[in-house]
Amino acid sequence: MDGKTRRTRKNTAVLVILAVAVVLAAFACVLVGSSHMTVAACFNALLGRTGGAAARIIWNIRIPRLLAALIAGAGLSVSGLVMQTTLGNAMASPSTLGVSNAAVFGANLSIIAFSGGFLSTGNNLSNYGVGVSPFATSLLAFLFAAASILLILGLCRLRSFSPNVVELAGIAVGAMWTAATTVLQFYATDVGLSAAVIWSFGDLGRATYRTDWIMLAVVAAGTVFFMLLALSLCLWYITKLSYVYTTDIQIPVRIDSTLYSVRCNVEGIGYQILKHKIAPRRNGVDISSDNVAVTPSARQAGVYDIAPFTLQNIISSHISDLKILSVESPVEIEFPQQEHD
């Protein structure tokens, strides 16, 4: 069994274990609650064998909350996959890039500033929550999360950050949003602070089938968008690979038993160049020192050099899918010779 087959089986086993864990957790969410229903009563309500309060609790409260949790988890997994794929960093996520911190600040701003949660309103519950709906809070959280992403992208564009530096920039921006949230909460009333903290923890208590449909529509739209974007990028990349390019690549050259990496300036079709960059050892050149013209090296005794033009002709005779324009680096290749006339 080769390494690829083992990795495939391992990944399949992990996916099966995770799927079973999700199913078991879903059943636990349906069967466990504050109403202290027995397992038999829960199953009877699920199967439609009984009505009344048990059926209402299962179908109107617990099932909508379960669906909301599953849809939210799916959305987080898609966002994490997009970020990790885009940045090429397995540690990238909404939390490490400051997106979650910005969303928390937006929600706190909506709850504390716009819902009567400042100290000037006092702790009078009648002054709290006037004119602001949960959807407005979610919208403001989304807007600040989008603003945080644009801020990070702007910094990366100005400074040409690498993927690892992008993550560090996200952590720094996230710390800025967290500090702003702390300042906002400092001036909040007890009621406003409590509401903001509860929102930050996350709450599925208000989930209904209507909100589940809204969440599903948003997550599905985002997933379809990124799938179409990935497909369009693949088609664009395939089209670009059919063009002719001139670039530098490393070509492995084995002289007798010694392997060298020769930097060559080549011209060829994009997918041919990509083949040599992805699997250079499969497209290398094997030559014998007895079949090439060499000159003694002036730098070290017992070492012989191959002129770049000679090496270019040798590589060109072995590689037919690329045009070798020049051998740039190293200028000469050295290899020890026991006897050479």
Sequence ranges of the domains in the chain: 11-87+209-241, 89-207, 244-336
pLDDT of residue 130: 44
pLDDT of residue 131: 46
State in words which class domain 89-207 has. mainly alpha
Compute the distance between CA of residue 53 and CA of residue 289 in angstroms, rounded to an integer: 89
Distances (CA, A) of 65 to 3, 57, 157, 161, 337: 42, 11, 41, 41, 76
pLDDT of residue 296: 64
pLDDT along the chain (341 residues), means of 10: 79 92 89 82 84 87 92 90 83 86 92 70 49 74 92 80 79 93 90 85 85 94 94 91 90 79 89 85 72 65 70 85 79 52 48
pTM of the model: 0.69
Burial per residue of 31-67, b for 16 or more beta-carbon CB atoms within 10 angstroms, e otherwise: beeeeebeeebbebbbeeeeeeebbebbeebbbbbbb
pLDDT of residue 126: 52
Burial group, residue 10, by CB count within 10 angstroms (0-12, 13-18, 19+): exposed
